[in-house]
Structure 1
Amino acid sequence: MVESNPKRQLVIIGGAEDKEGDSQILREFVRRAGGTKANIVIMTAATELPREVGENYIRVFERLGAENVRIIDTETRDDASSSTALQAIDKATGIFFTGGDQARITSILKDTEIDTAIHKRYGEGAVIAGTSAGAAVMPDKMIVEGDSQTNPRIETVEMGPGMGFLPGVVIDQHFSQRGRLGRLISALVLEPAVLGFGIDENTAMVVTDSQIEVIGEGAVTIVDESDATYNNAGEILKDEPLAICGAKLHILPHGFKFDLKTRQPILNNGSVANVSVGVS
């Protein structure tokens, strides 16, 4: 039975999540997907080693108690209309995108029957999760590739269509470990989106409707350029540095939340952090 107003839930993981210990992030995904009654499909489109990667996640999810776990391996777009895969997605309570190359996910799955089926289940309450490349595809426009550990420049990042589960934002992963603030800011200016999320390794942002909760050992860095007073993107050449003024920066560790509608952080005691920027 489908709820009349099911929650839309995403578990967006910055990569390198714990699979051997307490597995806090993957545990939360299984819990939200139905716990011991969870029916999970693992989407391996991003990886060139679908069997090895998929079986690793099967072991973790079964150890955590999920009732049914199976791999959906789509190596080509022709595979994305498989009746067996579509039937599995139709029954899934949790859909998990592995890491690898995010461009493989969109080139194989976007605008296919599987894409339509996954979005349908998402609207009906199935939990969608993704790690690393599987996190990058969550917005409607994603970072395809780009330089790390560099200052913001137009040439720093290449953008492309994502899967559209969380539109209007930009997401980057392995964030602090690979020094990706520059490319996240570049992506925001190029897109343009008003919110950019940089997710550390073994860290996730869990989205329930319009609220985000951070879980894991690192942090989620949020760049909010909705009130930015200036950027020079229209004035510079490709290899010249970007300038941006008046943007907000939030760094939220485990237990902190963020409201997507108000664009306000929520402290771990439940109070709203009143954020304002004064322009002289």
Structure 2
Amino acid sequence: MKLINIANILFIFTIMFSCKEKASNSTANQQSIEALKIVNKPKGKLFIIGGGKRPKEMIKELLTTSNFNNEAYLVILPMASQEPDSTIYYASKQFEELGIDSKKIKGFNFEKNKENKVWLDSLKQAKIIYISGGDQVKFMDVVLNTPIYDALHEAYQNGTTIAGTSAGAAIMSEKMITGNEYKHKEYTGDFRTIEANNIEISQGMGFIKHAIIDQHFVKRMRMNRLVSIAIEHPNETAIGIDESTAIIIEGDSIKVTGLSQVIVIKNPKKNLKIKEGLLGADQLELSVKLPGSRFTF
């Protein structure tokens, strides 16, 4: 009887030590994952403009946000535009009006040369990379699966501020609004319905992982589109940025700046109802953020 008791006790101790070791290993693994997240956290910032006119104060804030100094330079990427040379000229002019030496401003149209090593190296060292408006799909057609994509991510990881307006705002998220509708092929700029399987989404740059960006938002009355996106993509925060307005993302902090509002829609309950092609959902969360407001995804 004693032998049986001793055997049972030894068995219990073995189980206890085994469980303790597994728990210890589990904790160590979790700590490794958290450490990896910290290591991979970008040092750069995002300055995402909703399109329209760019007030001088906003561009000044972009320069301040990036810690732009006499040793720094900025790069303009015009590949979303149908007139890239004009885009570079007018964007450069606005920076020059704020006192930036023209020698510190570079414009690279990678549409003509996707593997220009000098340009790629310059991208990685730029203090600011500014992505113009135009057509976000056109921009991604030039950049996706190329060394340009990799150079942009390397720059962001190492401390570059990535700025973009209009199309340059749309490309910031991993899931990108293309501007097209599946059910209404002719583009009008109006989004008159909240329908299932209608808003076209494609791959963006992925600087933002858990949000989808819309632009020109209040000015062009794009609420229907953003509501559709929030319902059908419940794991993403849907963010609509108005014209002459921007969000500044640094780590987990998001700040609104500029002249108008930012609309934030979430679907935390992951509700999704479809009836005869129409989308429905309960308990969506909607916020209207004013300049100076801060929030997180």
Task: Give TM class, smaller chain.
Answer: 0.7 to 0.9
Deviation at 1:13, TM superposition (A): 0.5
Give the secondary-structure state (helix, strand or coil) at the position aligned to 1:154: coil
Q: Which has the larger radius of gyration?
A: 2
Matched, 1:250 2:292: no
Deviations, residues 113-137 of structure 1 (Å, cap 9, x unaligned): 0110110010011000100000001
Equivalence for 1:64:
98
Deviation at 1:42, TM superposition (A): 0.4
Deviation at 1:148, TM superposition (A): 2.9
Matches within 5 A, 1:84-123: 84-123=118-157
Deviation at 1:40, TM superposition (A): 0.5
Deviations, residues 134-174 of structure 1 (Å, cap 9, x unaligned): 00011101100146342311254111000100112111000
Q: What amino acid maps onto 2:63 in structure 1?
A: V
**TM-score, length-scaled by structure 1:** 0.83
Matches within 5 A, 1:12-161: 12-18=48-54, 23-37=56-70, 38-67=72-101, 68-75=104-111, 79-146=113-180, 148-161=190-203
C-alpha contact 1:143 1:160 (8 A) present in aligned 2: yes
C-alpha contact 1:194 1:226 (8 A) present in aligned 2: no
Give the secondary-structure state (helix, strand or coil) at the position aligned to 1:158: strand
Deviation at 1:192, TM superposition (A): 4.3
Q: What amino acid maps onto 2:50 in structure 1?
A: G
Deviation at 1:189, TM superposition (A): 2.9
C-alpha contact 2:78 2:108 (8 A) present in aligned 1: yes
**TM-score, length-scaled by structure 2:** 0.78
The 4+ residue runs of structure 1 with deviation greater than 4 A are: none
Deviation at 1:209, TM superposition (A): 0.7
Q: How many residues align?
A: 247
For the aligned residues, what is the CA RMSD? 1.8
> How far, CA to CA, are the matches of 1:55 and 1:32 in structure 2?
23
> How far, CA to CA, are the matches of 2:207 and 2:167 in structure 1?
14
Equivalence for 1:270:
none
> How far, CA to CA, are the matches of 2:235 and 2:214 in structure 1?
13
Runs of 5+ unmatched residues, structure 2: 1-38, 181-188
Give the secondary-structure state (helix, strand or coil) at the position aligned to 1:206: strand
C-alpha contact 2:128 2:162 (8 A) present in aligned 1: yes
Matched, 1:217 2:259: yes
Deviation at 1:231, TM superposition (A): 1.7
Richer in helix (by share): 2
C-alpha contact 1:10 1:129 (8 A) present in aligned 2: yes
> How far, CA to CA, are the matches of 2:61 and 2:263 in structure 1?
21
C-alpha contact 2:234 2:266 (8 A) present in aligned 1: no
Q: What amino acid maps onto 2:87 in structure 1?
A: V
Equivalence for 1:231:
272
Deviations, residues 7-33 of structure 1 (Å, cap 9, x unaligned): 3310011001325xxx12222112222
Matched, 1:200 2:242: yes
Equivalence for 2:229:
187
> How far, CA to CA, are the matches of 1:54 and 1:28 in structure 2?
20
Runs of 5+ unmatched residues, structure 1: 261-280
Q: Percent identity?
A: 30
Q: What amino acid maps onto 1:61 in structure 2?
A: F
Deviation at 1:181, TM superposition (A): 1.0
> How far, CA to CA, are the matches of 1:6 and 1:134 in structure 2?
19
Deviations, residues 44-96 of structure 1 (Å, cap 9, x unaligned): 110010111111111111222335111011225xx221112112212201101
Give the secondary-structure state (helix, strand or coil) at the position aligned to 1:16: coil
C-alpha contact 1:33 1:39 (8 A) present in aligned 2: no
Deviations, residues 206-260 of structure 1 (Å, cap 9, x unaligned): 10111100001110000011235x321xx445xx321111110000010000023
C-alpha contact 1:30 1:66 (8 A) present in aligned 2: no
